[in-house]
Amino acid sequence: MKKIIKAIGLMSGTSADGVDAAIVEIKGKGLDCKIDLIAFKKFPFSKGLRELIHRASTPEYGRVDLICQLNFLIGDLFAKAAIGVVKKAGYKMKDIDLIGSHGQTIYHIPKGKPPSTLQIGEPSVIAERTGVTTIADFRAMDMAAGGIGAPLTPFAHYILFKKKGKGVAVNNIGGISNVTFIPADGDINNVIAFDTGPGNMLIDSIVQIITKGRMGYDRGGKIANRGEDNERLLNKLMKHPFIKKRPPKSTGREEFGYNEALKFYKLAKRDRLSDEDIVATITRFTAKSIGENYKRFILCKHDVSEVIICGGGAKNLILTDMISREIKPIKVKTSDSYGFPPETIEAIVFAILGYAAISGIPVNLPHVTGAGKQVVLGKIIPAKTGWKQKLN
Ligand SMILES: Nc1ncnc2c1ncn2[C@@H]1O[C@H](COP(=O)(O)OP(=O)(O)O)[C@@H](O)[C@H]1O
Ligand SMILES: [Mg+2]
């Protein structure tokens, strides 16, 4: 295989706010490879598309014809994002060796019989439009092997953030919050990773409810900053069974979506909370649920020298400040201090997972996802030239 691989990672998370596209250079092999970020660009979805995705992801409204068409429409937008980030970098598409695409999750039923998951954004469309070998549908193989298909990020978080002799936790705050703890001994088999519960998802929904859709999120945490959290409602929220559930665990819009937010909003209004207090309370809940998970499943057994926050939630300064207070005296930083802006991490992760697929490296961690064994993740759509010829 070539010495330096140039890979694009494409990601749209449960927030359905748009496609994140990153170009990275990968040097070296396997767990010891080094990653350089070359370019990153976010391609926001229109409000209309965001609503269509939310509708498609809801059992009451998600029709098969809608999902079928969205698969190709989103594939096209992902292809445009790949082309756009290549342009931004001043590269040509032929410089790129592979694309790893997470796609857009429409539904995820880890505890179904059988467990199942659906990410859309047709990779054939991406490979055809870009001419680059595309790898997608990473979750399916872990689930086929008996896992819950999430989180898949620990392998890549390990490559990006492991620190000699120090335990670190990487916390991605997207729609959902997920943590990867990398122990001081650096043994990937001792990594702990799971979803802690809501990330920005409940905050976003509450802000959309109180602003009647004028705002999509609490920019910088400004609304929460003007309010005060309500202890009684906070305690009620903390009774959510997902928080105390033991890992492996993963969650999504099914548990912390709009309906859950609306229920909480109505309850808070009955108690005459101001809009600001409602946002402050839901933000505090998000932080406290993260802190509680750390205490129950990580801090009881391990030392954590620092928590590295990534994902869009890193921009909500009130949220990060509240997290910091929940787990003090542990240092809380953003991934900027490692040279990777917080919004770039998830896209970088899928560039790395694409590389792993092409290299035949299994990247699921069975003790994390519950899978019966390690498996190579992803479906490979070869570009015109074929991926083997290009990478050799
Ligand atoms: N400036 C900001 N202030 C507060 N929150 C922000 C800001 N920018 C992004 N976010 C939050 O981050 C979310 C998107 O984060 P992202 O990591 O893309 O999540 P996902 O992986 O679920 O798509 C937005 O929906 C919003 O809640
Ligand atoms: Mg996003």
pLDDT tens, residue by residue, 211-250: 999 999 999 999 999 999 999 999 999 999 999 999 999 9
Q: What is the pLDDT of residue 384?
A: 74
pLDDT in tens, 321-375: 999 999 999 999 999 999 999 999 999 999 999 999 999 999 999 999 999 999 9
Q: Which ligand 1 atom is nearest residue 42's CA?
A: 18
Whether pLDDT at 11 is above 70: yes
Q: What is the pLDDT of residue 1?
A: 76
Whether pLDDT at 48 is above 70: yes
For residue 389, name the pLDDT band (cuts at 50, 70, 90): low
Whether pLDDT at 81 is above 70: yes
Domain extents in the chain: 4-153+344-391, 163-342
Residue type, 99: I
Nearby residues for ligand 2 (ion, Cβ within 5 Å): 13, 15, 17
Average pLDDT over all residues of the chain: 96
State if pTM tops 0.85: yes
**Mean pLDDT, rounded, for 250-276:** 95
Which residue's CA is the closest to the ligand 1 atom numbered 18? 312
Whether pLDDT at 392 is above 90: no
Q: 359 C-alpha vs ligand 2 centroid, how far in Å?
A: 27
Which residue's CA is the closest to the ligand 1 atom numbered 25? 15
Q: What is the pLDDT of residue 386?
A: 67
Q: How do 98-109 and 116-120 pair as beta strands?
A: antiparallel
**Which tokens belong to 50?**
């965001």
Helix pair 64-89, 123-130: axis angle to 10 deg: 30
Q: What is the pLDDT of residue 361?
A: 96
Same fold, 4-153+344-391 and 163-342: yes
On whether the CB atoms of residues 191 and 368 are closer than 8 A, the answer is yes
What is d(CA 249, CA 295) in angstroms, rounded to the nearest whole number? 16
The helix or strand, by DSSP H or E, that contains position 206, with its residue range, turns out to be helix 201-210
pLDDT in tens, 93-107: 999 999 999 999 999
Percent of the chain whose pLDDT exceeds 70? 98
Q: What is the pLDDT of residue 29?
A: 87
Q: What is the pLDDT of residue 30?
A: 87
pLDDT in tens, 109-155: 988 999 999 999 999 999 999 999 999 999 999 999 999 999 999 99
Q: What is the pLDDT of residue 2?
A: 83
Q: Which of 47, 316, 334 to mutate to test the pocket of ligand 1 (most atoms within 8 A of CB)?
A: 316
pLDDT in tens, 285-306: 999 999 999 999 999 999 999 9
CATH of 4-153+344-391, one of 3.10.150.10, 3.40.718.10, 3.30.420.40, 2.120.10.30: 3.30.420.40
Q: Which ligand 1 atom is nearest residue 311's CA?
A: 17
Q: What is the pLDDT of residue 387?
A: 67
Helix pair 258-270, 275-294: axis angle to 10 deg: 120
Which residue's CA is the closest to the ligand 1 atom numbered 23? 13
* 192 strand-pairing partners: 181
163-342 placed in CATH 1.10.3720.10: no
Strands of the chain (E only): list them. 4-12, 18-27, 34-44, 98-109, 116-120, 134-136, 168-173, 176-182, 192-198, 306-310, 331-334, 379-381
